Amino acid sequence: MDAIKLMSQDSLKAEKPVFEIGDTVRVHVRIVEGSRSRVQVYEGIVIAMKHGGVSETFTVRRTSYGVGVERVFPVNSPNVEKVEVVRHGQVRRAKLYFLRQRTGKSAKLKERI
């Protein structure tokens, strides 16, 4: 068991991004297309965080052309360049799945001060 923990410690990022559920974040993701690679920015609200340690993930939701799009990012992935926090949302839940049924102004969260 200790050997597994040691191997997983090597896979962790040195600086873990600091954000919480309800925050609007801008995720910079490296996309590889053939021999070229570029950085794509994905902005949305963090609606869930799961697991812990090496396999920790977070789900970001945004509305694109009137359609809700969710994307799951591993925290420790080398393809995730950086995570910027745009604004902090005030929430009282650990999972914000109720935002899936909401549209327009009701899908917004109050800002935490």
What is the pLDDT, as a whole number, of residue 1? 63
Q: Is residue 11 very low, low, confident or very high in pLDDT (cuts 50, 70, 90)?
A: confident
What is the pLDDT, as a whole number, of residue 8? 78
pLDDT, tens digit, 9 for 90 and up, residues 62-85: 999 999 999 999 999 999 999 999
pLDDT, tens digit, 9 for 90 and up, residues 19-28: 999 999 999 9
What dotted CATH number matches 2-106?
2.30.30.790
What is the pLDDT, as a whole number, of residue 82? 94
Q: Is residue 44 very low, low, confident or very high in pLDDT (cuts 50, 70, 90)?
A: very high
Report the percent of the chain where pLDDT is more than 90: 78
Which has the closest alpha carbon to 80: 63, 62, 57? 57
Query: pLDDT higher for 85 or 16?
Result: 85
Report which DSSP code applies to 94.
S
Tell me phi and psi for residue 106, to 5 degrees.
-70, -15
